[in-house]
Structure 1
Amino acid sequence: MTPPAIPAARLLGAFDPGTPEWTAARSGLVVTATEAAAIVGLSPWRSPLSLWHDKAGTLPAEKVAPTAAMRWGTRLEPVIADAFAEAHPELHVHETGTWASLARDWQRATPDRIITPADGGPAALLEIKTSRYGDGWGEARTDQVPVTYRCQVVWQLDTLGLDLAHVVVLVAGQDYREYTITRDEGEAAFLRDRAAAFLDSIRAGNPPPIDGHPATYRTVQRLPGAVDDTVADIAPDVAETYRQALTDHRQAEDAKRAASAAVLSAMGTARRAEAAGRKVATRSTRNDGSTRALIPHPRLLTEDLAA
């Protein structure tokens, strides 16, 4: 079904991910929906510094192989879109492409689908996700989605000048949930302002500060290029911060080993551990029955078991 006209944006085209056209639509001094979350430090995959160097072209392009979760998410997207359409016969679901805001050509978005009511009315967006455990997703029929995806959706709504988005997630391959997000002008203005400042910093050659994001460290590792056999005289406070971090890390590792040993001891011969009905960890074993590793449950870090 042909996507409807959107008065506040223009359709650049429907491009397959990874093609030259797809890359060109999101390259240079433009900001896409997924990049907006990285700019404000809310992306688990990219940091402000890593994105800055990508946009500034100071590093060679790095090819990242899609993970199994990414591949299956792509495969399942049309299936989940069909499920949404079946649940909502009052709505038309349109495939779409990459859009640019008419007010700010550098503001780009590629929503998964556009929705129009069968009896007329304003268009809305449909964003489709998959999740292994449902971490960060609240009760269905609310707006409680992970903050990274909220940034993405708010950016998409602002780019296209729309007011409503439906977000659908399939958890663990069987738990279908729907959420709705309405455009918030305060959030949209915050993201726009930060994105504009980010692009200005690229033009000025001023990268963001170093932070603890894994993507920042990977970026800094790639920055120097050829290394020469010289000595750098760094500031004492930088060296002291490094020394203290190493000390803290060693103490944390000691504490982790002690806590893991305590859990294993409390488990006895059990394969799995729970506390007050909540999953804690699973033991993997060697052929002789000894413990190979204690694997924490994925939700353990988000729960207070002592509460």
Structure 2
Amino acid sequence: MTTLVTPTGRFLGQWPSNSPEWYAARAHRIGGSDIAAIVRLSKWQSRYALWCEKTGLVEPDPPNSQQSRGHFLEPGVANWFAYQHPDVEVVEAGTWTHVDPERDWQLANPDRLLVRDGQVVAGLEIKTDVDGRDWGKPGTDEIPLYYLTQVRWYMDVLGLDEWWVAVLGSHLEFSEYVIHPDIDDTLYLRDAAEEFLRSIAWDEMPTIDGHDATYRTVRKLHPLINSGEKFALPDDLAAEVLPALAEEKSAKEAAQKARAKLLAAMGNASHAYWDEEPVARRQAKGEGTPYLVVEKNLPAIPELLGAAA
């Protein structure tokens, strides 16, 4: 493994996913899944949640069932691709950074590398997707933006001009796609990553959004419940979150953002009130992370509708 060379990559090592060594290599660097969160394209991670993880405020979430499924099926998809492409050797990749010391913060943890005559000629990313709605015609570069961002990042780190994506999709059908560099995308991603790293250095926390990962992160930031402590919502926060919470069924993302903002404002308080009327309470199941329970009958606030302007 250590004899492999890529045009701009520096090999760090090969460790199991989610191992202590794997996390240590990623701690202060930006990887392929990270960059998708930074540019707000990740369905798994939010910019806010990633910032809190990189600064050590919270621990990363464990892999969910869909991510675990992909991990277990990965060898089979790799074998299928190797069968389809006998002209290349499909090898495990390990973890890499950019060879330029000033860009050591760029990390790549590809699924596989493709080797021909002892030379790395391309990369391979392996996916499983039972939905398949965002995939275009096989053989093209029409893949979901989240995965395209990840692949373009890896290409920039390793300096490779070709990257394949092998997919096990719905009805257990195999497909493959091929991606080539795009300089505009590459520079955009690099700039976004550097801006994100500056926000960490300057302690500028991203704004709360409606991503599920943001809500989970805010829950982890306040693991205690001070029984009996009441939080009085300021008028501007009440004007922002109460209408969204009241329309939760029709505007779920806005409601999730409101929940996260309210949780963050409450801190460790057990109850939230506005104008002495109950709004929400924080609860926990056993030793679990506290979550927000919104009261069924929220106070009407027509007089506050302009407060958030």
Question: Is 1:162 matched up with 2:160?
Answer: yes
- Are the aligned partners of 2:4 and 2:119 in contact in 1 as well (CA < 8 Å)? no
Q: Distance in 1 between matches of 2:251 and 2:32?
A: 36
- Are the aligned partners of 1:113 and 1:127 in contact in 2 as well (CA < 8 Å)? yes
SS at match of 2:236: helix
SS at match of 1:74: helix
Partner of 2:188: 190
| Cα pair distance change 1:70/1:224, threshold 3 Å | closer
Partner of 1:140: 138
Partner of 1:37: 36
Q: Which amino acid aligns with 1:151?
A: T
Question: Is 1:10 matched up with 2:7?
Answer: no
Q: Distance in 1 between matches of 2:3 and 2:129?
A: 27
Partner of 2:71: 74
Q: Deviations over 1:159-214 (max 9, x none)?
A: 11111101110113621111011111111111111111111111111111111101
Q: Distance in 2 between matches of 1:14 and 1:230?
A: 49
Q: Which amino acid aligns with 1:72?
A: R
Q: Distance in 1 between matches of 2:218 and 2:85?
A: 48
Of 56, 80, 83, the residue aligned with 1:83 is 80
Q: Distance in 2 between matches of 1:177 and 1:109?
A: 23
Which runs of structure 2 are paired with 1:228-267 in the superposition (5 Å)?
A: 228=226, 229-249=228-248
| Cα pair distance change 1:117/1:49, threshold 3 Å | same
* Displacement of 1:2: 6.9
Q: Distance in 2 between matches of 1:137 and 1:3?
A: 35
Which runs of structure 2 are paired with 1:94-113 in the superposition (5 Å)?
A: 94-103=91-100, 104-113=103-112
Query: Unpaired segments of 5 or more residues in structure 1?
Result: 254-307
Which runs of structure 2 are paired with 1:213-232 in the superposition (5 Å)?
A: 213-228=211-226, 229-232=228-231
Partner of 2:261: none
Q: Distance in 1 between matches of 2:250 and 2:61?
A: 36
SS at match of 2:247: helix
- How many residues get paired? 249
Partner of 2:277: none
| Cα pair distance change 1:224/1:252, threshold 3 Å | closer
Q: Which amino acid aligns with 2:116?
A: P
Q: Distance in 1 between matches of 2:33 and 2:211?
A: 16
| Cα pair distance change 1:2/1:92, threshold 3 Å | farther
- Are the aligned partners of 1:3 and 1:96 in contact in 2 as well (CA < 8 Å)? no
Q: Distance in 2 between matches of 1:71 and 1:121?
A: 31
Q: Which amino acid aligns with 1:156?
A: Y
| Cα pair distance change 1:250/1:42, threshold 3 Å | closer
Q: Which amino acid aligns with 2:207?
A: P
Query: Unpaired segments of 5 or more residues in structure 2?
Result: 253-309
Partner of 2:267: none
* Displacement of 1:114: 1.0
Q: Distance in 2 between matches of 1:252 and 1:43?
A: 20
- Are the aligned partners of 1:33 and 1:155 in contact in 2 as well (CA < 8 Å)? yes
Q: Distance in 2 between matches of 1:43 and 1:86?
A: 31
RMSD of aligned Cα (Å): 2.2
Which runs of structure 2 are paired with 1:14-29 in the superposition (5 Å)?
A: 14-27=14-27, 29=28
| Cα pair distance change 1:65/1:192, threshold 3 Å | closer
Q: Distance in 1 between matches of 2:18 and 2:38?
A: 22
* Displacement of 1:116: 2.9
- Are the aligned partners of 1:26 and 1:108 in contact in 2 as well (CA < 8 Å)? yes
Q: Distance in 2 between matches of 1:131 and 1:63?
A: 21
Q: Distance in 2 between matches of 1:26 and 1:56?
A: 12
Q: Deviations over 1:246-270 (max 9, x none)?
A: 23225679xxxxxxxxxxxxxxxxx
Partner of 2:208: 210
Q: Which amino acid aligns with 2:135?
A: W
Partner of 1:152: 150
* Displacement of 1:3: 6.2
Q: Distance in 2 between matches of 1:251 and 1:178?
A: 37
After TM superposition, the score normalised by the length of structure 2 is 0.74
Partner of 1:285: none
SS at match of 1:52: helix
| Cα pair distance change 1:243/1:15, threshold 3 Å | same
Q: Distance in 2 between matches of 1:94 and 1:2?
A: 12
SS at match of 1:249: coil
